[in-house]
Amino acid sequence: MLLSAPALADDSTAALGTGGLVLQKTDKIALVSEDLYLSTSGIRISYRFRNLTAADYTTTIAFPMPEFTGGGSNSTTVVPDATSDNFVKFKTIVDGGPVSSQLEQRAFLTAEGEPDTEITDKLKALGIPLVPTVEATEAAVGRLTDAQRKMLADTNIFDPGVSEYNGQPATLYPLWTLRSKYWRSQTFPKGKDVIVQQSYVPVVGSQSTLSLGSPDMDDDQLKSYRDRFCTDETFMKAASSLYKKVGNDNLKSFQVFEQYLSYVITSGGNWAGPIGDFKLVVDKGDPKTLVSFCGNGVKKISPTQFEVNIKNYAPDRDIDVLLLQTVPVH
C-alpha cells in the first residue's frame, strides 16, 4: 500500500469567503515562467508573473497546502517541524525581499461516503494544536482530564494506540485532516514583471521496507506504481535487482526503503493562459538512489539531477516522485 504524503501547490488567486479562502481564476495576470526544484530536503519555486492590463492590479494570493491527515499509531510520515503551525518552514520572497503571509488552518474528520465534519473550534477550545502529529499535540493532550481524553478517542478524533503502560496514559494519535492555505495581498504593477520565490521543506511519505521489485507483487500493485510514478521496464529491472540484493545481504549491512515526494501543480492553473516556460529539476540526492517520475523529454543534467523543460505548459496531472533509497547500517 502506498502512503500518501502531503505536498504543496502552485500559487492561486483567492477570495476570503465565509467558509474560508476560495480559489478564483483571473485573466489579468499571466504566469510567464515557473522554475521548480524538487528534492526530499527542500523544494524551491521561482515564478515570473506579468500584469496584462494597463493599470496596477491588487489581488489576494493563496498557496494551498494539500490535505495532511494524521496516520494513527502506524504513521511513518516525517514532518519537518511538527510543533509549529508553519510545519514545512514555508518562506516567500517577492522581488528580492521577504514577505509575510497569513495562515488559514481548518481541521476536519473525514470518512469515505460521509460528509466532512469540521472540528477546528473543538480542538482550539481544548488547546490542541491543529497539526495532526503526536509531537504537536502530546503536551496539550497530556493536560486534559481523563474524561476529555476518552471523548477524543470515542469520537475518533484520536487513535488511542496501545493500552496504558506502567500506569501512564496511552499515547493518543491524531486522526483528523488538516487543510491549510497561506495567503497575502499582492500588487502587480502595470508594465512590470513580478518575481515570486517560495521555498519549504516537504513532508515526505515513506515505507520502511522495499516492496517494489518483489516477485510477489500483484498486477494491481504494479499498476498503481506505473500510473503514479511511470515506472518503466528499465526502472523495474533495477528495482528487482535491488530487491534481490537486499534479500542476499546476510550481514544486514544496508537498508533500502521507498520514499514518495509530491507536488500539486494542477490547482495553480487559474492564471491567464498556460505557463509560458516551465522547468522542472528533480534531485534524487544520492547517486545510488533509484528515481522515477512522469515526464516527457527528461534529461540527466548531473549525477543526481534530472530536468524537464516545457513551453506553454498546461498541467493535467500533479508531480509524483518515487525514490528507492539505499543507506548503510552501522
Alpha carbon distances (Å) from 227 to 56, 205, 262, 318: 43, 17, 14, 12
**Alpha carbon of residue 328 to chain centroid:** 27
Give the number of domains in the chain: 1
Residue 265 within any structural domain of the chain: yes
Q: How do residues 64-116 score in pLDDT, each as one tens digit?
A: 776 788 876 555 567 888 778 888 888 999 999 999 988 899 999 999 899 99
CA–CA–CA angle 72, 77, 78 (5° rounding): 125
Neighbours of 317 (CB within 10 A): 10
pLDDT at site 69: 85
Q: Over the Cα atoms of the chain, what is R_g?
A: 22
Q: How do residues 175-215 score in pLDDT, each as one tens digit?
A: 999 998 888 888 999 989 999 999 988 888 788 788 899 99
Residue 5 within any structural domain of the chain: no
Closest CA to 187 of 45, 28, 46, 9: 28
Q: What letter represents residue 238's amino acid?
A: A
Q: How do residues 286-308 score in pLDDT, each as one tens digit?
A: 999 999 999 999 999 999 999 99
pLDDT at site 163: 54
Domain coverage including residue 305: 12-328
Residue 168 within any structural domain of the chain: yes
CA dist 137 and 176 (Å) reads 12
CA dist 176 and 122 (Å) reads 12
Neighbours of 123 (CB within 10 A): 22
CA dist 59 and 49 (Å) reads 13
CA dist 195 and 34 (Å) reads 10
**Mean per-residue pLDDT of the chain:** 86
Residue 254 confidence (pLDDT) above 70:
yes
Which cell is 115 given? 460528509
Residue 183 within any structural domain of the chain: yes
What is the domain-level CATH number for residue 246?
2.60.40.3680
Residue 253 confidence (pLDDT) above 90:
no
Q: What letter represents residue 150's amino acid?
A: K
Global confidence as pTM: 0.82
Which cell is 182 given? 497561506
pLDDT at site 266: 79
> Do 309 and 64 touch, CB atoms closer than 8 A?
no
Residue 4 within any structural domain of the chain: no
> Do 326 and 242 touch, CB atoms closer than 8 A?
yes
Residue 56 confidence (pLDDT) above 90:
yes
Neighbours of 100 (CB within 10 A): 9
pLDDT at site 1: 25
pLDDT at site 6: 43
Residue 279 within any structural domain of the chain: yes
Q: What letter represents residue 118's amino acid?
A: E
Residue 43 within any structural domain of the chain: yes
Closest CA to 103 of 90, 119, 117: 90
Residue 3 within any structural domain of the chain: no
Bridge partners of residue 290, in order along the sequence: 324
Ramachandran category for residue 169: left, alpha or beta (phi over 0 → left; psi -120 to 50 → alpha): beta
Residue 128 confidence (pLDDT) above 90:
yes
> Do 299 and 307 touch, CB atoms closer than 8 A?
yes
Closest CA to 282 of 236, 229, 240: 229
